């Protein structure tokens, strides 16, 4: 393997340019944009949750254009079949009547795939997406096809309309590096949205990075130093999400059925490294870990019946865990 040239200043400037360019189209949503870029530069998939009309689809499309990556959008519905997203083998007839079978790629064969309202597809279709997310491949019959690199699934779901949906199984939720909450815009942001969307001038974005640069940064952030103290801090944070741990906060022991598994700490460290580079550092800090904890863990905590009945949220529990970890330092 070729030695990686460590260029943190160039990586940081590239990330800043991409984020700034996205801001020319997307009004507000600073946290969502920042977290999505952490996820992409870490090489993971993201689940965006928010009510309709908050710009989730536009955000994903804008990210693809800014990074100059191929983009496809799939509207997930109950009648969507696995072959509708993976592709299928088709029979072709030649001029002399000869036949041949060729593979017709589906929309998964793009660098950025927007899975819109992912929880409306049946488990069978969701399982086809699961292979692509985990293995970066698609299997049709006895043939396995490699997906393009880089490859990201950026999925959206609506938290308020559950009729006719198929909740994502825990195994699939765990494959998403981050779960990003897309919130309401502020008063000033609403005004700016109206100006941009109802005026004569249309907003557009320019390419600010390439696939090669993205892959270079992804390889480079792996070189970020994680000290033993930082690793211990992250491990304690993860362990405190488990209700059977005596150090866990009372709220976790009372309301959590299952805490985060190993992918939770992998997500914290990998996205924390990206955040460190975006701040001009080649070492992980507690600030990086605390900043990524909510999107990295909120979909990996499963409440018990009492927690659901009391309306407790995963974010509240993670904040309790962060406070408990900090108190132990």
Reply yes or no on whether the pLDDT at 2 is more than 80. no
Q: What is the pLDDT of residue 170?
A: 79
What is the pLDDT, as a whole number, of residue 67? 87
Return the pLDDT at 237.
Answer: 94
Which range is most confident: 98-107, 176-185, 230-239?
A: 230-239
Q: What is the pLDDT of residues 57-74, one digit of tens each?
A: 888 888 888 888 889 998
**Structure letter (DSSP) for residue 59:** H
The answer to whether 34 touches 271, Cβ cutoff 8 Å, is no
Mean pLDDT value of segment 291-315: 92
**pLDDT recorded at residue 1:** 45
pLDDT(235) > 90 = yes
pTM for the model stands at 0.87
Q: Which long-range contacts (CB under 8 A, 24 or more apart) does 172-176 make?
A: 172/126, 172/129, 172/130, 172/133, 173/47, 173/299, 173/300, 174/261, 174/263, 174/299, 174/300, 175/45, 175/130, 175/133, 175/134, 175/263, 176/44, 176/45, 176/46, 176/47, 176/133, 176/299
CATH number of 224-329: 1.10.8.80
**Is the pLDDT confidence value at 26 over 50?**
yes
**Residue 139 binned pLDDT confidence (cut-offs 50, 70, 90):** confident
Q: Is the pLDDT of residue 294 over 90?
A: yes
The first and second tokens of residue 252, run together, are 């976790």
Structural domain spans, the chain? 1-220, 224-329
pLDDT tens digits along 307-326: 999 988 999 999 999 999 98
Quick check: 3 pLDDT over 60?
no
pLDDT at 202: 61
Residue of higher predicted confidence among 168 and 264? 264
Average pLDDT, the chain: 85
22: tokens are 């996205």
**CATH 3.40.50.300, applies to 1-220:** yes
At residue 162 the predicted structure's pLDDT band, cuts being 50, 70 and 90, is low
CA dist 231 and 225 (Å) reads: 10
pLDDT confidence of residue 38: 92
How far are the Cα atoms of 29, 83, 193 from residue 35, in angstroms, in the given order? Answer: 10, 31, 21
């Amino acid at each position: 393997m070729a030695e990686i040239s460590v260029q943190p200043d160039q990586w940081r400037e590239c990330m800043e340019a991409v984020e700034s360019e996205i801001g020319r189209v997307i009004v507000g949503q600073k946290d969502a944009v920042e977290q999505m870029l952490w996820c992409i530069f870490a090489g993971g998939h993201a689940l965006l949750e928010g009510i309709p009309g908050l710009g989730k689809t536009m955000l994903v499309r804008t990210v693809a254009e800014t990074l100059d990556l191929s983009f496809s959008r799939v509207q997930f519905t109950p009648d969507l079949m696995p072959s509708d997203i993976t592709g299928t083998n088709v029979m072709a007839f030649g001029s002399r009547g000869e036949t041949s079978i060729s593979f017709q790629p589906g929309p998964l064969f793009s660098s950025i795939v927007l899975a819109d309202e992912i929880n409306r597809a049946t488990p069978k279709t969701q399982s086809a997406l699961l292979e692509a997310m985990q293995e970066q491949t698609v299997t049709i019959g006895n043939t396995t096809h490699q997906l393009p690199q880089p490859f990201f699934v950026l999925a959206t779901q609506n938290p308020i309309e559950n009729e006719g949906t198929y909740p994502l199984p825990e195994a699939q939720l765990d494959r998403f590096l981050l779960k990003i909450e897309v919130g309401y815009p502020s008063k000033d942001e609403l005004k700016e949205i109206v100006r941009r969307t109802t005026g004569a001038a249309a907003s557009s974005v320019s390419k600010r990075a390439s696939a090669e640069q993205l892959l270079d940064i992804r390889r480079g952030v792996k070189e970020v130093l994680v000290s033993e103290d930082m690793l211990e801090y992250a491990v304690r944070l993860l362990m405190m999400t488990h209700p059977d741990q005596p150090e866990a906060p009372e709220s976790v022991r009372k309301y959590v059925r299952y805490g985060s598994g190993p992918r939770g700490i992998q997500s914290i460290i990998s996205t924390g490294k990206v955040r460190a580079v975006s701040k001009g550092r080649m070492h992980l800090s507690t600030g990086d870990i605390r900043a990524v904890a909510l999107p990295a863990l909120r979909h990996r905590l499963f409440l018990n019946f009492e927690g659901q009945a009391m309306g407790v949220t995963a974010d509240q529990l993670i904040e309790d865990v962060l406070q408990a970890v900090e108190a132990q330092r």
